[in-house]
Structure 1
Amino acid sequence: MDEEVVAVGHDVQVVDPDVRNYVYGLVTALGGFNGEDADRYVLGDDSLACLRDIKRWLKLYDEKNNRMDVARCLGEANVVSGDLLPILTLWWGTGQKSKHMTRIALACLELLVPLTWPLEIHNQMTVNHHRHTPYLLQAQVQYKRGILKAGGSNLLRAAVRIALPSMAIPRSERESRDEGILKLMLYFLRNVAIISPNSRLAAEGDEEETSRSSTINAFHQQDALALILTMCSNVGEDFNLQDIVLMEILFHLVKGIDVEKLFKDEEQAGSEYASDLASILNKEKMARREYQKTAPTRHSRFGTMIWVKRDNGKMSTVSGQRSLRDDQQTFEKMDQSKKWNKPKPRRKHEDSTQNSNFNTPAHLDREATEHLRTFVEEFLDSGFNPLFTHVRKAIEREAERVLDINTRQFFYTVGWFLEAERVRRARQARRTAKSKGKAKNIEPDSYGLVAGVLNQETFITLNRSMQSSLDNKEWEDLNAQMRCFTQILLTVQEMAVSPLEDDQEIAENIQNRIFYEETTHDRILAIVRGYKDQSFGYLDSCTELAHVFLRMLERYSKENADMQIRSRRKAKRKQKKADNADQQDEADNENDSEAEEMEDAAQVTKERNFDFKRFAAKFCNQACVDTFVAFTGYYKELSSEQLKRAHRYFYRIAFKQEMTVLLFRMDIVALFHRIIKGPEPMDSSKSVYKEWEELVRQIIRRLIKKLDQRPALVTELLFSKITSTVYYLEYGHEKQTISASKRPPPEVVITSTEATTRESQLHIVVGALVLDGRTDLVKWIKHVLDSAADEREVWEIQEETRLLEDPEITTLPNPMITVKSKDDFVQNAMFSNARLRLLMKIVGFERLGVEDVLGAAWIVPSSLKSEDLRETLSEIRKALETPFSADGDDDPRNQLQKKDRGSGRGDALQGTIDVNFGSESEGEDIPEGPLFPANPRSKASALDELKKKRKKKSKPNAEREPLDDETLEARREARLSNSLSRQAKIKSDLFIHASDEESDAEADKEFFRLEEERRKKQAFEVKKALLTGPGHSSKGKGKKAAARKRTSDTGAGTDSKRQRRGSASASAESDADGDIVMADPDARSSPSLHADEDDLAFDDDLAFSRDRPSKPDVSDEEEDAPVASTRRRMRGGFVIDSDSE
């Protein structure tokens, strides 16, 4: 069946005929104008029921079915201008006291709100929406024209009058119906403020009748502005649920209005209008002059085609008579034909928010400017803080009445009124300065009028919203937030220079809070660097925020030299392996990647000093430069302030940061040249023209100089500069960097005393790798050994053949074989796996070079023959065939441990324990080194023994006079000499080498003779002591006296130094710690030493008896100089005195 093609707009039914007929019937029954009195509207018999039926049709048919058919029919029937507005006019004139007429007026208001509701283009629109939206947009403009003009300019006042009874009721006594009436009235005012002529549709009637100026004048004349001001001042008390609607009305009244022009005086406004007119005429004149250069002539209808011979001899064809004028026009024509239109990816369809677009400027006439300025001043004085504080709280708690678009409107409106407050103060300051001496001195106002948005809660909300918009790429929301943040910074900047000290303190506190967070700095940088293809309004806000933020931060950092900022970084945590094998197995079952490095979302917060030069250098990159270059590309439309902003950035790049190389790109240089020299240059009458001219001259001058120094720059002019290229062009060489390599793992050793052979060692290490799940690494070692053995065997056969052919030929050593990893995993394991490295050392592999870094070469040395490699390979195979147990002591991993490298504290403690007996000085350098090893006991056992042997001695009864420094120095030298001579006589068997057996027989005979005499003499002394006792031995007495005297000297020297340091209290504290305090020789007793208690109690009386304490002898008491009591340290039963203290 063939379908008949019908032209659109003729016989196509856009609305269901039944719906149209029923709606038309309701409109007809509603009422109309009487034939006798054409100016008087007459209601129908049941007009209230008709209004309610129309409302049901709008709700149940259009809203429920997501259609616009009923609204289209009502628009075609002219129900607003022909019925609703006349009914409201009738009620305002005669029927305010009639309840029935009041109900009808309220029903009309209920219909006006949905019929004037703003229409938006979004991605959920149906065919029905696209069919009806253009018509309804034009119909709404007609509705607004009728509302502002009809009824003797009382329709807005009538809507307000309908809601007055509900406003008079206290908030606690209002019902839901009263709140609904207030909401209807405010939404009606909002809709009237929103409706504006659509630029994409043909205008009908005079556009000035529905302009912003007409709206503001109507709001002022019909007391709507007074109502809004009253409700804003009482938001926190009587009108809690109306805050969002009030904010929307303010947004649509002030969006796009230039605050500077709003607060200009009449004289300034007049001169401004004159200058604007002159600039427009000048632009028109320049455009006409440029056009005349290429204007068509009487012969321009003829076609033209020419050939252009280029430098390389090739011919190019250019068409058009413009190419005949001069060579420049010809080349421009060629360049235009070569222009590459880069295909752009299909952009994601975004919902149109034309009604909330604040980037389009709005112009007001003088009357509307005066009315709006008066309203703004009154609002700043009384309604700013209550309204915006309440709206911010509603946004924070995500109230149901708050929509996504309201957050954008909130930040833009806050920023606009903050700018208005700054401009108003500047205007007042100009007036005061102008009338100086004529008017009385007026005290400056505090910034408390706008303090509701200068608190920490607002900053938190703003920062969170900015980061969310940046992450979600909601550019228009971010645009409004950047405008708000910029105005907050400028307001704080003026507060800092306020004559009021309170304002100065508040400004200092706010700046400290804003600049303290490094995340704010990083966010500003990310916004500037992230510009791509957003709108010009976004670009303007972005560059202005960066300019203001950098300038204020620079000034604040200079005033606060010790400025601190808080930085947050992600922390990395490593999960440690369990020491116990059972715990490790259990953890492996739960999570196989437990031993790997994990990144957590935890934030590490730390404070650091702020360096402004370092932060400003972050803006010296190609992305930021591209952002400001794109902004400068609009130089013909930019104001002097905007051009100055771009000039300051390029000046900072070129001269403050010395990064002129970033500007050496062909398109940037061409833009700078066009700004000054043309074609279409900057207007030379602007105040910043001279500054731009000097900047461009210096940049081109540096470019020419740099081209002579770096010929490579000729090529780099075509491209953006990366960091390495910038460094090379600036300094002439590449930047030398040292890569921070990872440290090798601690060395692992085998602790088993039974693993003395290579086979047993291989069994342990291979078993540990197998239990770790690294059998692939063992197999790789097998493969390397197998291939190395084959290669080495071939070499050995070749060498044998050469020797058989010519026995006199010199044999060559086996060549080294490089150990090659099969992949990156094995390469990393060769550096990071300590057990694999131990296995490689056991099989005989060696590492080349001194540095142990990732990627270091390992080789099979030439000393290993093929037989050795085969033997090692067979041992590894046997180890792999052996089953390994992970239980208890059989686990081979328990027989491996990290090699103890020693720590600073342990070395110091060991240095104290390892005493060179016979010397009472510790820490002195011996010229030829000690001839016996350190104490072989482990640290743990030595400490346990020391704890057992610590005893406390009684303190001295009286202090004695300390010795002078010269005496102490002489005694120290004597003790050192004595120590060296005694150590030279001692030789340990650990230091006896094979070369010692080469001594002659005479020396050995003399040595054994002396040893025999020493044993006999010692036996005699022991026997004599058993018979007579130690007190009757004169030799023992002499030894005791010498020991007593030596100890007294040492104690006096030590105590003298301690007294100079004034550490008497430290001695008492050390006594409490368990150190043994050695008493005066006259008072101390001899401690008993037993062989079972101290393994250092040797029988060598000749070597150690001088240092062992004994009872003092009365006859020797006068020989000793009186010394003060001192505190001694004992290690293993021996007194250790340190002159280094």
Structure 2
Amino acid sequence: MSADLQQGTTNAADFSLTVLRARIALLATAIGGPDYTSQIDPPPYKLGDDCLACLKDLKRWFKLVDDQQKRWDVAMAVAEYRILTDDLLPILIDWENKCSLAAKLAKNNPDHEEFRNKAYYDKIALNCLQLLVLMTWPLIVTEQSSSNQITLYGELKKHQLVYKKTILSMESGKVLRAAIRLALDVIKIDRLSRTPRDNMVLKLVLNFFRNVIAIEPGEFTINTKKSMPKKGITSIDTLPPNVSMDDISLNTVISSFHKNKVFGFLLTLTSSLSKEFDQDFINIPLLEIMFYFTKDVNQELLFPRQFETGTHSKVVNKNESSSANNIVTSAGFELSKLLQKEHQMRKNVIKHTSARHSRFGGLLSIQTPDKTRLTVSGSQALVDEKIALQKLDDSKKWNKRIIKKHQSVAAEGLPNSLLNSQTGKAIFFTESNGKHFKEFINNFIDSGFNILLHSVTNYFTTEQDRMVTLEQVEYLLFFAWFVKYQLLRSKIDNSADIKQVSEALKEVTFILVSSLLRSAYDLKNWTVTHAGMIAFNELLNLVSRTKAAQEEDSTDIEFIVSRLFSDERIQLLSNLPKIGSKYSLQFMKSCIELTHSVLKVLEQYSDDKTLVIEGKSRRQKKFNISEDDITKLIEEENVDRDEALDILTSSLRSIEVNFQKVQANYMTEPVIETYINFLERFRELEDDSIKKVFSFFHRVFVQAKEQALLFRFDLIILLREMLSPDGLDRMSRSRKYVSQFSDYFLARLKKRLKKSPAWFVGLLFPPLHNSEVGFYQRYGEYNVLNNESMYAAPASQFKPIPDEEALPPSILLDMKYGVLVSTLLDDGKTELLDQLLKHITHTLDIFKSWLTVNVNAGKETVNPPNEYFTLTGVLNNDPIFKDKDYRALLLLIGYSIPRKINEPCFLPGTVEVSDLTVSCELVKKYLSTPFETPNGLPSSSYLLRVRSEKDSFSHNEQDGWEGDDDYDYNDPYIVPDDQILSKSDAAYFKDLDNNASDKLKGTKFSKGIARSKKKDKRKRRKGEAKTNLPMFGDQDDERPQTVRERHGVFSKEFISDSEDDEDLMNPIFFENETYMRWLLDKNNGQLTEDRYIQFAKFAAERMNNGGVVTGDYTSLFGGSIPSIESIRATESSSFAPDKSLISLASHVASEMSIFDVNNNNNNQLSDDDVNSESRNSLGSSQPSNSQNMFQSEVYSRKESTKRSLEASAADESDEDEEAIRLFGKKSRVVLSQGDSDD
């Protein structure tokens, strides 16, 4: 029966698909076709009678089926009936020809009228463009994609390649001119007169250009879990018939765009983005166009080869450049590469092949211990054993390396070729197209780069939480590509100034780039992390270049450097190369280049002995400022007195940067592992990359003197392999660096082996860490620890508890034990508590026995001896010294906790047995009974982990800073108790936010994000707890107020609902509460639901009428309403009124609102529609709680919505005017609310 049901479902689906295809076929026929009655050959295209209606029906089918049902059946049917190639393109080209002819005639004859029915044909052209955008929209398959989309993905990709070829080739791409003409009709309109529909037309045109550039062959791997079948598949199988890579290459796109003046159109938009256009509509499409233009282009190929480093690379690239200019197609370039490879292989064969007279008898057989024989033929194996072993290795079966999941670039919705320009597989242009492309890029940088980057950065700053992965990668790679291009350009072109990309050095840009890098690293989004490393590396190169050029305006540079030297930033940048060995070659390359740039910039700026860094002091220092200092600063800086005081009392201070300590963060074994893994593939590396590796090895070996990190067998073997005849080419410039380092490395190794023979064994194993043996092995001397200077961690402290003074001491003690014990249990420290309880029980027995003996002996005043406490097992004694919560519990019980490492922990004999018994019972109680906190938060929320006065356990820690004072009050990592400052970039974005309510609260929320989402804020506080510990938690009501909070002026617009609670302080409120208590006492503490509702009306009426009651409440009180004096006279209780009425707040509030509405109806009946519409509009804009959905689902839904909106937003004027009227009406409601609030 189930099989029949399944078959029936399949038949129904097939039937619906058949009906859908039939409808699409009818629409394709009704749109129009060739007019065979015409005498013109080929016959012209003739529109159908209902052409416009058919085009609109097609858009509705796309929205109904493909967008809403997550299917691609309509797109597939449209492709099979060739609607784009046979209908849409001919219609647009015919419309373009008519418009062009009319424009020429009007130019010669101003009285000439336009062709007939131009408005009707304009509507048809616009609808055709909307369908073009829908049919060429990039296909994205994610984990949420349906099986129908997975099935049709490959075929639709091929159809889109046909679309791209046809668009670019049909009448030399004249459809591009038609799209520009539609945009020009909008540009002619004054900016203030343009409607949202006009702006959407501009966005539609840009999306069409973006789609044409972005169409590429289908991916072999759709995403990390879904793959296309790979049985015999090649790159040719992803192409449709009669379509080659040359037909759809970027080279062809540039040629077509140049012929049809698309480049000039794009330059017009970017250069006038902030003046003539609404940038919120077109800035992101422009960014995407520039990204897809440049993502596969290697900047170095656009400039002469003098920028190549290394002799070998010069020779090779010179041949490539000379041949590239003569190559017409990419296939020709591939053939050239294959010929060069064949030539190199032939040289190797001749080199290792012996003469024919010595080939006889060349057979070598080796017997292994398991009686297996390995045979090698050839006389060369008899001469050199290395060749014999190499032949054995070559005969082994090679299993292709399986890429791990986290190494795959194919993330959700991202193509495999996303980082092509970084893989060495960048495309090449013909000489003419390369010239056109380079001219376009130069003009864009000179006129529009700063404008576009500023607009996009400001947009993403407010929408950062909504940026999907693809948008983050597009922004970062767009930023990196143009900065690198301008740096290369400025080396040969004196007219190219760094100021043309000055927006890349702005504070907001730097913060956004670094914030994206940090968040991607924290979320383990390695694709964005890779792109972020590339962007940050180019930013550092730009900073270094600007520093060398000694630009006059260095404010932005100083800001970047001050943030770059922060401990948090150094920690992030030094963590990136530690994980690089797990990922791809290009990821490791980006890590190494970023590390090289970071150390270069830091070393460059470390020559400046004092840098103004955002420092923080532990205590508020008293500034000794004289009147003369203020007067002098006012005269020198030409500022007023307040600004002079701000400058003199600034929290910024000069800090001496110790570059050696910062560099030590990179001297770790995982970083060395990344460098060696990268160098193992030296045959694939350029000379510049090899040079950077050995430059870092020189830092490790010579400057940092961490020679033990490089004393490894794998590095010795790798150096030997690189210097062998089959290793680096003898003409390669990088071979010199390898040879020099190898000689020095081996010389130092020989000395170390003579001095410490234990290294013969140590070379076989990883280096030892955190032990005396490891220290001696690395440095050849004993690690003498000064225990006197090693302080234990301070015990945790309790935050102020609400109504603490009113609580009995026993209840307060019980609560403190519950907080500490439950906190330790939450952290999984049950074993610590068990050992502590065991020691308390043992001590109680000893104390009781001691007292019994002494009482009998008449020595009641003699105290028992101290009982020393040590932890046993694998725990050692570290928790007694390091665990702040555990030390707080010991202190609460009465233990004498050690202040230094060499001091013991003991329970003194002066502790009363009764107190110790209570402590034992409370610990037992909360070991078995869960502790429930009054505030509903974890128990740790009641604890304050204070910092130690001395860095006891990091006495040898290298943090990169040396303060001006030897005393630790100026420690840059300590946040003062009365000044909680954020070290993260969010502190800067908080100042950029224009939301007054957020400023008054001192917090920052992205625009359009639900305010109930507080997860990020808690996560940020958790991350800052390592270095910035505030005096109280985020939810402390008693935390010190900032200046902004103390001086904030509140208006009605920013008063929250909670401030309506002031009504509860009305005397009538307490009278109502007295009535409620009287009713509860009269009815034995229970009221029916009807009486609750009646009392809500009664209370609301009294609150609105000043205590006067006009209604009938006989049934509520069982007679007349008693006076308040008589009720109070009969009350026997003297305590303060309780809050029983607050539980009825909803009833009271609803009844009060009814009174307000009735009063307003009498005075302002004309505003009912506006108020109801306002409530609807406000209710429809409530924030969503689904902030943690998968990013891929967000992106697919966003793309689907964007397609449907852009396709429908540019419909005919009658529909748009109605939407605009509705939009304007809602806007007026919002404005009226704002006016009334003011």
TM-score range normalised by the length of the shorter chain: 0.5 to 0.7
The equivalent residue for 2:804 is none
The equivalent residue for 2:138 is 118
Verify the 8 A CA contact 1:243 1:390 in the aligned structure 2: yes
SS of the residue 2:420 aligns to: coil
Instruction: Please tell me whether residue 159 in structure 1 is matched to residue 163 in structure 2.
Output: no
Give the Å deviation of 1:709.
3.1
The equivalent residue for 2:1236 is none
Instruction: Please tell me whether residue 624 in structure 1 is matched to residue 625 in structure 2.
Output: no
Give the Å deviation of 1:520.
2.4
Verify the 8 A CA contact 2:490 2:498 in the aligned structure 1: no
Change (3 A) 1:856 1:270: closer
Deviations 1:638-663 (A, max 9, x none): 22222221121112112222222212
- The one-letter code matched in structure 1 to 2:345 is A
Deviations 1:340-376 (A, max 9, x none): 9999976599314117713342322222210111111
Change (3 A) 1:506 1:422: farther
Verify the 8 A CA contact 1:23 1:54 in the aligned structure 2: yes
- The one-letter code matched in structure 2 to 1:479 is H
136-145 vs 13-22, greater mean Cα deviation: 13-22
- The one-letter code matched in structure 2 to 1:48 is L
Verify the 8 A CA contact 2:615 2:653 in the aligned structure 1: yes
Change (3 A) 1:445 1:49: closer
Instruction: Please tell me whether residue 483 in structure 1 is matched to residue 534 in structure 2.
Output: yes
The equivalent residue for 1:385 is 450
Q: Which has the larger radius of gyration?
A: 1
The equivalent residue for 1:242 is 282
- The one-letter code matched in structure 2 to 1:502 is E
Give the Å deviation of 1:779.
4.5
Give the Å deviation of 1:670.
1.8
In 1, Cα distance between the equivalents of 2:306 and 2:653? 55
In 2, Cα distance between the equivalents of 1:141 and 1:257? 20
Change (3 A) 1:629 1:160: same
Deviations 1:676-725 (A, max 9, x none): 115x4122222222122211232233334333333332333333324346
1:911-1060 equivalences under 5 Å are none
In 1, Cα distance between the equivalents of 2:715 and 2:463? 46
- The one-letter code matched in structure 2 to 1:353 is L
- The one-letter code matched in structure 1 to 2:586 is G
Verify the 8 A CA contact 2:283 2:452 in the aligned structure 1: yes
In 1, Cα distance between the equivalents of 2:411 and 2:739? 41
In 2, Cα distance between the equivalents of 1:141 and 1:676? 47
In 1, Cα distance between the equivalents of 2:888 and 2:541? 59
Query: Which of 144, 152, 168 is 1:148 aligned to?
Result: 168
The equivalent residue for 1:30 is 31
1:302-313 equivalences under 5 Å are 308-309=366-367
261-270 vs 726-735, greater mean Cα deviation: 261-270
Instruction: Please tell me whether residue 350 in structure 1 is matched to residue 411 in structure 2.
Output: yes
Query: Which of 749, 752, 756 is 1:703 aligned to?
Result: 749
SS of the residue 1:624 aligns to: helix
- The one-letter code matched in structure 1 to 2:28 is V
- The one-letter code matched in structure 2 to 1:235 is L
RMSD: 5.0
The equivalent residue for 2:149 is 129
In 2, Cα distance between the equivalents of 1:448 and 1:878? 74
Deviations 1:1003-1036 (A, max 9, x none): xxxxxxxxxxxxxxxxxxxxxxxxxxxxxxxxxx
Deviations 1:1068-1102 (A, max 9, x none): xxxxxxxxxxxxxxxxxxxxxxxxxxxxxxxxxxx
Query: Which of 777, 780, 789 is 1:729 aligned to?
Result: 777
Query: Which of 513, 516, 519 is 2:568 aligned to?
Result: 519
SS of the residue 1:45 aligns to: coil
1:469-480 equivalences under 5 Å are 469-480=520-531
Instruction: Please tell me whether residue 287 in structure 1 is matched to residue 349 in structure 2.
Output: no
Query: Which of 686, 690, 699 is 1:652 aligned to?
Result: 699
- The one-letter code matched in structure 1 to 2:284 is I
The equivalent residue for 1:509 is 558
In 1, Cα distance between the equivalents of 2:401 and 2:685? 27
The equivalent residue for 1:784 is 846
Give the Å deviation of 1:610.
1.3
Change (3 A) 1:836 1:107: closer
- The one-letter code matched in structure 1 to 2:429 is L
Give the Å deviation of 1:391.
0.7
- The one-letter code matched in structure 2 to 1:54 is L
The equivalent residue for 2:73 is 69
SS of the residue 1:32 aligns to: strand
In 1, Cα distance between the equivalents of 2:916 and 2:96? 107
The equivalent residue for 2:645 is none
In 2, Cα distance between the equivalents of 1:554 and 1:666? 31
The equivalent residue for 1:595 is none
Query: Which of 43, 66, 87 is 1:83 aligned to?
Result: 87
In 1, Cα distance between the equivalents of 2:26 and 2:814? 92
Verify the 8 A CA contact 1:518 1:565 in the aligned structure 2: no
Change (3 A) 1:206 1:380: same
In 1, Cα distance between the equivalents of 2:488 and 2:794? 66
The equivalent residue for 1:16 is 17
Give the Å deviation of 1:454.
1.5
SS of the residue 1:121 aligns to: coil
Change (3 A) 1:413 1:323: farther
Instruction: Please tell me whether residue 550 in structure 1 is matched to residue 550 in structure 2.
Output: no
Instruction: Please tell me whether residue 374 in structure 1 is matched to residue 374 in structure 2.
Output: no
Verify the 8 A CA contact 2:776 2:783 in the aligned structure 1: yes
Change (3 A) 1:787 1:168: same
Give the Å deviation of 1:91.
1.4
Deviations 1:921-957 (A, max 9, x none): xxxxxxxxxxxxxxxxxxxxxxxxxxxxxxxxxxxxx
In 2, Cα distance between the equivalents of 1:716 and 1:791? 60
In 1, Cα distance between the equivalents of 2:689 and 2:594? 12
Q: Which fold has the larger relative contact order, with Cα–Cα distance below 8 Å and residues 6 or more apart in sequence?
A: 2
In 2, Cα distance between the equivalents of 1:716 and 1:450? 51
SS of the residue 1:502 aligns to: coil
SS of the residue 1:67 aligns to: coil
Q: TM-score, normalised by structure 1?
A: 0.59
In 1, Cα distance between the equivalents of 2:287 and 2:567? 32
Q: TM-score, normalised by structure 2?
A: 0.55
SS of the residue 1:685 aligns to: coil
- The one-letter code matched in structure 2 to 1:143 is Y
131-140 vs 404-413, greater mean Cα deviation: 404-413
Change (3 A) 1:852 1:611: closer
1:609-620 equivalences under 5 Å are 609-620=656-667
- The one-letter code matched in structure 2 to 1:729 is Q
The equivalent residue for 1:186 is 206
1:37-76 equivalences under 5 Å are 37-76=41-80
Give the Å deviation of 1:260.
2.0
Verify the 8 A CA contact 1:356 1:409 in the aligned structure 2: no
Structure 2: gaps spanning 5 or more residues:
101-114, 221-236, 308-313, 325-332, 357-361, 620-650, 796-811, 818-835, 855-863, 922-1238
Instruction: Please tell me whether residue 218 in structure 1 is matched to residue 256 in structure 2.
Output: yes
Deviations 1:847-888 (A, max 9, x none): 9x999944479999xxxxxxxxxxx99x9699979xx9xxxx
Verify the 8 A CA contact 1:106 1:162 in the aligned structure 2: yes
412-421 vs 768-777, greater mean Cα deviation: 768-777
Query: Which of 260, 274, 278 is 2:300 aligned to?
Result: 260
Verify the 8 A CA contact 1:569 1:605 in the aligned structure 2: no
Instruction: Please tell me whether residue 534 in structure 1 is matched to residue 583 in structure 2.
Output: yes
In 1, Cα distance between the equivalents of 2:401 and 2:847? 59
Change (3 A) 1:627 1:822: closer
Give the Å deviation of 1:445.
6.3
In 1, Cα distance between the equivalents of 2:671 and 2:652? 28
- The one-letter code matched in structure 2 to 1:131 is T
1:1028-1107 equivalences under 5 Å are none
Give the Å deviation of 1:414.
1.9
Verify the 8 A CA contact 2:563 2:613 in the aligned structure 1: no
Verify the 8 A CA contact 1:661 1:726 in the aligned structure 2: no
In 1, Cα distance between the equivalents of 2:915 and 2:524? 64
The equivalent residue for 1:888 is none
The equivalent residue for 2:420 is 359
